[in-house]
Amino acid sequence: MSAETYDVAIVGGGPAGLSAAIELKRRGVAKVALFERGTEVGGIPRHCGHPPFGMREFGRILTGKAYARRLAGAAVAAGVTILAKYTVVHTGPDGLLTVASPAGIQAIQAARILIATGARETTRAQLLVPGVRPLGVMNTAALQAFVYQEGRIPFRRPVIVGSELVSLSAILTCRSHGILPVAMVETEHEVQARPAFFALPRVLGVPVLAGAQVLAIEGSPRVTSVRLRLADGKETVLDCDGLIFSGRFVPEAALAEASALALDLGTGGPVIDEHGRSSDPSIFAAGNMVHPIETAGHCWDEGRRVARVIAAELANGRDAEPDKTLGRRIIAGARLKYVVPQRLTLEGRGTVPALNIRAIGAAHGRLILSDGSGTVLRTQSVNTAPQKPIRFSLAGLNLAVDSSDLQLRLEPRP
């Protein structure tokens, strides 16, 4: 069986994959294939029947659903070969992909591969939440697939666990379908989205219980209640018929793992440099798989940037260089969950506007980037709520050409 060939094979049809595909076509790359394992492209925004999406991309505010449709339409118009119901089961080395579809297994050869498989929410099992295991426990995305895609109501009075932006999305989804959340429970002592957003649950009459712990999920065959320990140490039982575990995104990195890419323990996704290159010179990565989690607009922008790098490489007629190093490592210090990219090269400086950082919990103090000898290269003060993205600007930074590690640390304010 001879492999079908493409210039670029993109894995995953969410905002990052779609914008990369469109940009590659715009830059004259001839054969661009996008492999989507689901039945249609558009990614997570497909499940979001509510705004705001699309300001940066289309200059107007759309619902997630309309945004996904519009992005998919643009990819088709640009001449991207969209292959839905195609699952990439293995990638690389040398740009070889193994792909499964209803037609069976086939091999695909591509000069470059972009993996943009996105992220998913942490499950009840991963959180080791105690109790029995009834029907009615799910993530936000599953709830949204129930109501927006399948036209079904999985429960009427759920408890929402988590307080990130996606948790607010869960509330909006509930309220637009006659579902009345009983409460929003956050195990941390502060809500995780910016406090200003938390006017929303209060306005909608959903009590927010911060610093609470889930002691047990009860019910059979469906959820009937959840037992909590509240911040003040008292126990309470909330009657409910469902639980939504929202947020705490983790990368959908099974393909990256199976393809033996170097992984970052902080993000759980592949190690990349500022151009989106992975440890395999023919494989790039972009979107929420490399930084769980950012907005659709951020992923769209990143897909476009990485596409420009790929297009430039292909225009130079270069084969992927197998001995290419990923540049200098950035070691994230204590109190930092991750820094993306994890590597900095010296070429084409300026393609990454900033380092993308998450602290563990809230961050108040100073971020310090230094080199191997301890020389401080740049500092930036930070003052952010938990989970909030931190951007560390690299503009104008001159890095020495050597292979020593860079250190990034958070010095808390005394």
Pick the closer one to another protein by CB: 77 or 105: 105
- Least distance to another protein from the beta carbon of 118, Å? 10
Provide DSSP, 223-281: --EEEEE-TTS-EEEEE-SEEEE---EEE--HHHHHTT--B-TTTSSB--BTT-B-SST
Spatial neighbors of 384 by CB under 8 A, at least 6 apart, are 359, 362, 363, 364, 390
Pick the closer one to another protein by CB: 228 or 352: 228
Omega of the bond prior to 45 within 30 degrees of 0, cis? no
Q: Counting Cβ atoms within 10 Å, is residue 155 exposed (0-12), middle (13-18) or buried (19+)?
A: buried
- Least distance to another protein from the beta carbon of 283, Å? 18
For residues 169 and 161, give the distance between their C-alpha atoms in angstroms, rounded to a whole number. 13
Pairing of strands 235-239, 225-229: antiparallel
Pick the closer one to another protein by CB: 137 or 314: 137
Pick the closer one to another protein by CB: 91 or 139: 139
- Least distance to another protein from the beta carbon of 321, Å? 28
Omega of the bond prior to 251 within 30 degrees of 0, cis? no
Pick the closer one to another protein by CB: 187 or 345: 187
Cβ atoms of 224 and 218 closer than 8 Å: yes
Cβ atoms of 255 and 91 closer than 8 Å: yes
- Least distance to another protein from the beta carbon of 81, Å? 18
For residues 24 and 303, give the distance between their C-alpha atoms in angstroms, rounded to a whole number. 10
Partner residues linked to 358 by β-bridges: 338
- Least distance to another protein from the beta carbon of 397, Å? 32
Pick the closer one to another protein by CB: 54 or 131: 131
With b for 16 or more beta-carbon neighbours within 10 A and e for fewer, the 334-345 pattern comes to eebbbbbbbbbb
- Least distance to another protein from the beta carbon of 97, Å? 15
DSSP 210: E
- Least distance to another protein from the beta carbon of 404, Å? 26
Residue ranges binding another protein (CB under 8 A) = 37-39, 85, 87, 100, 102-105, 120-121, 123-126, 128, 130-133, 135-136, 138-139, 141-142, 145-147, 149-155, 177, 216, 220-221, 250, 252, 254, 257-258, 265, 268
- Least distance to another protein from the beta carbon of 367, Å? 26
Pick the closer one to another protein by CB: 80 or 263: 263
Pick the closer one to another protein by CB: 114 or 137: 137
DSSP 325: -
Tokens of 85: 């119901």
- Least distance to another protein from the beta carbon of 317, Å? 36
Pick the closer one to another protein by CB: 287 or 327: 287
